[in-house]
Structure 1
Amino acid sequence: MGVVQTKDFDVAAEYAKLANNPACGAVVTFVGKVRDFGDSKNVSAMTLEHYPGMTEAVLEQIEVEARARWPLDDVTIIHRVGDLQLTDQIVFIGVSSAHRKAAFAACEYLIDFLKTRAPFWKKETSNEGTVWVDAKDADQQAAEQWQR
């Protein structure tokens, strides 16, 4: 399940939903947060925009791909948009599986492809002004590892 929303999410509640399956042997989660550096130094805030409809379709597609690669029970992808402040949560990815290796790999796969394929745009605000963040070569390289 992939959701794009402005409101914050509750990590404990999302974890509990994933862990509620009696067949579940492993739950792996990732939470991305607003930090005080990025393309700019002294980042004080961030604005995230997306392409409605297309973004959700990409999130659904990468979940389908992950499920085809690993035996997964449940998958949750939540990505926030709008104006965010330092330490705010941006993204939650949670995966449950009977097996830990599948859960770890699928969680990493999902964030790698979310960062390279989902149409999100990030603008950082710092004491130097605002800057739209370019795609990172490191993110592309991380996604390419899955194609080997």
Structure 2
Amino acid sequence: MEFTLRHLTFILAIIISGTVSGDIQPIPVTVQEGNQVILEIKEKAPFYDFFWLKNNEDTVVLYDSINVEIYPAYKNRVDFNEQTLSITIRNMQKTDSGLYTAKASEKTQKIIGSYNVTVERARSHGSTAEIASVTWLTFLFLLSVIYLPTL
């Protein structure tokens, strides 16, 4: 990826983002590992640059009304909708847990979407020990049904 003046401006805007405004509280979202999550903005705002950040440091998507840039760590797992400004993150992993923030940058930055995403392990349908225990109990029951009536 080529480092451009646009990237430098964007990074500086994040660093000196004391002018960020917005009263949007993060919405808690829980998703299981391997599933997808859709994050949407909560209000429209004019912008020169629009971006989704993870934990206010890692850029997920940068959009300037013409170009969409999905950053390398998310390249094959994120879809960006230019009409709704939403992102879909597929194949969620525990490391994807964190605060996702949508910001519109014009003269000031405005938070227009915020999600506190928690990725949980996929639930199993029972451990090997539980399955073995049920199998053993079923065997003993069948054995008792067959041999006890004959005693």
Q: Which has the higher contact order (CA 8 A, sep 6+)?
A: 1
TM-score, length basis structure 1: 0.30
Higher helix share: 1
TM-score, length basis structure 2: 0.30
Larger radius of gyration: 2
